Structure 1
Amino acid sequence: MSEKKHLTLAAAVLALATLLSRCAGLIRDVVIAAFFGAGYGADAFFMAFTLPNLLRRFFAEGSLTAAFVPTFSAVRQQQGEAQAHHVACQCWGLLLLVMALVTAVGILLAPLVVPLVAAGFGTVAGKLELTVRLTQLMFPYLFFVSLLALVTGILNVYGHYFVPALSPVMLNAAMILAALLFSSRMAVPIEALAWGVVVGGLLQLGMSLPLLRRYGVRLRPGWDWRNPAVVRITRLMLPGVVGVAIYQINVVVTRLLSSFLAEGSLSYLYYSQRLFEFPQGIFVVSIAQAVLPSLSRHAVADDRSALLDDLRYGLSLILLITLPAAAGLLLCAKPLFSLLFMQGAFDVRAVHQTALALMAYAPGLVFVGLSRVLVPVFYARQNTRTPVWISFWTLLVNAIAGLLLMRGYGHVGLALALTLSALFNALALGWVLRRQLGPLGLRPLFWLGVKASGAAAGMACVVFWLLQQGDWPAGQTWRNGLVLLGAVGSGGLAYLLLCRLLGVALVRDLGMLLRRRRPAGR
């Protein structure tokens, strides 16, 4: 199987699994919105989830995966399966110990740390105390998902993507059931969601762990932490942790600033970011995750030409997908929140405010996508330091822009600040990568972007006209549902047709690849 075909199929499998998990996540958010709305309890829960979720990115999806996958791939390729399994066991033992300590410390220090990141909550009676309590309840989630990240990295190296990407369905299901079945039975209803998070994390790990046996991997805690591969992973993780920390501090800064705004501002940002992350999780993360093992193999073989070829292919896929997705989010923001969320405690005002935030987030989808494909090139070359420095400057851009924009635009200004910082991050990564590797051969990518933008503009006209046929203040009606479905479907078909008319060869090639045919000239 050709490299491009393998990457496309891997990304497609990841996208399918992620689509299912994101749909479950959307249902979860609709349930949370209906039960808790955008106010006191919801603000406390979303802020409380910040710390364990932040540390999850530190120790799991970001730094651990970026350090482990290239090293594990290299050991497996150069030293064989037995040594690769040995390294996995040593990492498992080290991770068990470290995450148990981090979880315990997090629970103990929550009363000291939470007031720092939720300072604005102190002006509302009981809100800060509730946030501390919820944070302590949810910290064990960090332990389970960090172990899951290691399992996922091993499975990805062996070419298994589907089940790990599908595992968030268990988290979403646990939270939905907690809200539906237990929130009304608890003295503090929002605590049911916190318990759902912990149970969901345990179920996620339990869903993926047994799959390792299929590849002959049996994870038993090892204590040979002086193993060269383990030392290399640890050294690569340290700057990676800092880099991910800086990126996630962007989120913390945004939530800290939002805590000083009107009540509900943090919830508006959360709900809008969740819809923003829907296409990001399905397409952007899937492509980035699929391309990392391939880039790592080429880096180990010192094959610069193949590495850049995969980079260009990944960036092309990102542009082809995120340009229409960003336009769709911009146009469909109000219809989406009106149709999916406007019920129970989530009223017309909440629909309007969350839609405005999503419109500010939407253009950032393109820049986040480009960054998510550029960063793995640094990781594949075992260079985790450079993205750290770029992330640091990105943090400053976000903080300064947020402080300036929130004064006149409130929570919408904070969303726009994140979009501007994402643009800066993508440009900086591309500039530094060119200085390190030389010319990247991105001219065809520029013309692909021009053509895809033209197709997305034509698609936007179709979607805009169809959306005018809906009555969005009416909220959840069958007519509105059919109008939105028709607009999305017609927009997608219009985009593909316009891409073909404009000569976007990648659309044709993708169809051939997914039909298991080799495109001509490849």
Structure 2
Amino acid sequence: MSDTRAATEPPDEVRPPAAPPAPADGAGPPPLGRLLVRAAWVTAALTAAGSLLGLVRDQSIAHLFGAGVESDAFLIAWTVPEMAATLLIEDAMALLLVPAFSYALARRAAAVPDGAEPDPVRVLVAATFPRLFGLLACVAGLLVLGAPWVVRVLAPGFADPQLAVDCTRLTSVTVLTFALTGYCSAGLRAHGRFLAPAGVYVAYNIGVIATMFALHAVWGVRAAAAGVALGSLLMILVQLPGFVRLVAPVRAARGARRRAARPRAATVRHLGLALLLPVVAFTVSRQSQVLVERFFASGLPAGAISHLNFAQKVAQIPMVLSLMICTVTFPAVAQAMAGGDLDRARRRVERDLGLAGAIVLLGTALVVGYAPQIIEVLFQRGAFGPKDTAATAMVMRVYALGLLGHSLVGALGRPFFSAARPTWYPAAAMGTGLAVTTLAGALAVGAWGVYGIAAANAVGITTTALLLLAGIRSRVLPLDVRGVSLAIARLAVAAAVAAAAGWAAAPLPDHPLPSLLVGCVLVPVVFVLTGLVVRAPEVVHLLALIRQRFTHDR
């Protein structure tokens, strides 16, 4: 039975404490807590819904435009929103603003409620939001004007550059709209509101799909680019009412405005240039792996970029789901580190890494075992034929080898930037991984084409993950690197066995859909049983978390 507060509060509200409580016995990982567990499941459900709609979006592109020049042109233009999403929604904006909002919330909780000082949260918004809006509106305008040069740099060998330019001009608006989306998401998550931020990709993909089907007969693939612009506006509208209620600046009293200089400086110091540059460098380097892939693929036969894109979009679903836990717990980690409770932050990060590893490796096993069936069920219709299915499935299997690296990079980057002090180590690690990706791609693309590009991506991101894991103990948290590595290794063994079982069983039903349905049962069962045999504690904890969720619903 839930207590009265838990029963009456809406499920998207998780009120962060002013200071993180210390564990009673000082041992064991901190539990997620009832409200955080609820937030994790809400986030998981909406993330899954957004991912499924993303698959519908990609299915629609494949059905309407196939894997050829039109879809390649759209995907070149889609590089802009992909980079913008990583910078302004998923990584850089969150890594900067969630700790800043958490710090402002801590100052608000510690302030004397006499009205003598302005609200630190509203001071933060007033100091940062107008500058962000003005700067990124200018950047979006420059991208619209410079679209021909952007296409020339991204895909110098592309066959129809004008079509890619038209699409790029339409998608350039996302630089501004994604920034506003990410700003609202960071503020809401720091306040413990996860429902609206988790739903932004549902709104986004609905906008893309609806516009594409409404206008494709008139505009062709440009309709998909227009849908990206419309969908990005819907992302803002989903969050704006809640954000305005929580943190919108209000007119302060004259005396309070005169006294605002000191709290303003203290509140905004977490967003200085010394903090901004390393986060941006890390995020840009991470997303630049996609730029490297499309640069090399632009010189391959038509459809290569599309095969890479469809393979990545499907394979990345386990990685996205694995990071939902880190997304929910990130404000708690930031608050613990702001309060100096490094031990609690360490234990939370260790548990998050284990759970993220379990989820992504389970998904990797399913992707490797059933790649042809997954692609055939999702995409093989209309202009997307059997040859496209075979090529995309093989690319997806190769790309899946780097999913653990992608998940670890996403999970490890958060504690590095939660300390609210400048650190260039993550950017250096990501730059090294990008260099490995570029070199390996240059060497492999001639011999193995898109498969070599996918393999280079896996090698590069895994290099970054290893560097971050090796450096976190001495630079951020006293993490038990050996224990985390051993736990992930055990999970990798379970994933390898489950993938092998799936690969062997996949051809038995002739039709891909029954085969995939069998795989959705077989692979998790083999993964869990093997995990128990090799003593992977994360498997046990993940089962306990699921049991806890359904127990609380009774």
Cα contact 2:369–2:501 (8 A) shared by 1:
no
Deviation at 1:137, TM superposition (A): 1.3
Aligned residue among 228, 231, 234 for 1:200: 231
What is the DSSP-based 3-state SS (H/G/I as helix, E as strand, rest coil) of the residue aligned with 1:359?
helix
Quick one: distance in 2 between partners of 1:228 and 1:131? 45
Quick one: distance in 2 between partners of 1:178 and 1:491? 37
Quick one: distance in 2 between partners of 1:501 and 1:249? 39
What is the DSSP-based 3-state SS (H/G/I as helix, E as strand, rest coil) of the residue aligned with 2:299?
coil
Deviation at 1:8, TM superposition (A): 4.8
Quick one: distance in 1 between partners of 2:213 and 2:66? 14
Quick one: distance in 2 between partners of 1:138 and 1:181? 18
Higher helix share: 1
Corresponding residue of 1:117: 154
For structure 2, the 5+ residue unaligned runs are 1-20, 24-29, 112-118
Corresponding residue of 1:509: 541
Quick one: distance in 1 between partners of 2:63 and 2:430? 36
Aligned residue among 367, 378, 383 for 1:329: 367
What is the DSSP-based 3-state SS (H/G/I as helix, E as strand, rest coil) of the residue aligned with 1:64?
helix
Q: TM-score, normalised by structure 2?
A: 0.85
Cα contact 1:287–1:373 (8 A) shared by 2:
no
Cα contact 1:339–1:480 (8 A) shared by 2:
yes
2:189 alignment partner AA: N
Aligned residue among 268, 271, 276 for 2:307: 268
Deviation at 1:502, TM superposition (A): 4.4
Cα contact 1:269–1:415 (8 A) shared by 2:
yes
1:413 matched to 2:456: no
Aligned residue among 393, 401, 404 for 1:355: 393
Deviation at 1:401, TM superposition (A): 0.5
Quick one: distance in 1 between partners of 2:370 and 2:392? 12
Deviation at 1:482, TM superposition (A): 2.1
Q: 1:366 to 1:444 in 2, by over 3 A?
A: same
Corresponding residue of 1:339: 377
1:488 matched to 2:517: no
Quick one: distance in 2 between partners of 1:78 and 1:516? 34
Residue deviations 1:147-189 (CA, integer Å, cap 9, x gap)? 01011011111222222112211221122222222211x1x41
Deviation at 1:515, TM superposition (A): 4.7
Quick one: distance in 2 between partners of 1:208 and 1:412? 40
Corresponding residue of 2:66: 37
Cα contact 1:89–1:221 (8 A) shared by 2:
no
Aligned residues: 503
Cα contact 1:322–1:365 (8 A) shared by 2:
yes
Corresponding residue of 1:370: 408
1:300 matched to 2:333: no
Cα contact 1:92–1:221 (8 A) shared by 2:
no
1:94 matched to 2:121: no
Quick one: distance in 1 between partners of 2:475 and 2:543? 34
For structure 1, the 5+ residue unaligned runs are 472-478
Corresponding residue of 1:476: none
Identity of aligned residues (%): 26
Corresponding residue of 2:55: 26
Aligned residue among 148, 155, 169 for 2:188: 155
2:487 alignment partner AA: L
Q: TM-score, normalised by structure 1?
A: 0.90
Deviation at 1:86, TM superposition (A): 2.2
Q: 1:151 to 1:500 in 2, by over 3 A?
A: same
Deviation at 1:106, TM superposition (A): 1.1
Aligned residue among 15, 28, 31 for 1:4: 31
What is the DSSP-based 3-state SS (H/G/I as helix, E as strand, rest coil) of the residue aligned with 1:408?
helix
Residue deviations 1:274-326 (CA, integer Å, cap 9, x gap)? 01121111222x12312321221121122221121112111111221222211
1:274 alignment partner AA: K
Shifted more, 375-384 versus 9-18: the winner is 9-18
Corresponding residue of 1:142: 175
Quick one: distance in 1 between partners of 2:366 and 2:449? 24
Deviation at 1:422, TM superposition (A): 0.8
The 5-angstrom pairing of residues 177-216 of structure 1 reads: 177-184=210-217, 186=218, 188-213=219-244, 216=246
Quick one: distance in 1 between partners of 2:88 and 2:132? 9
Quick one: distance in 2 between partners of 1:298 and 1:345? 52
Deviation at 1:267, TM superposition (A): 0.7
1:105 matched to 2:142: yes
1:480 alignment partner AA: P
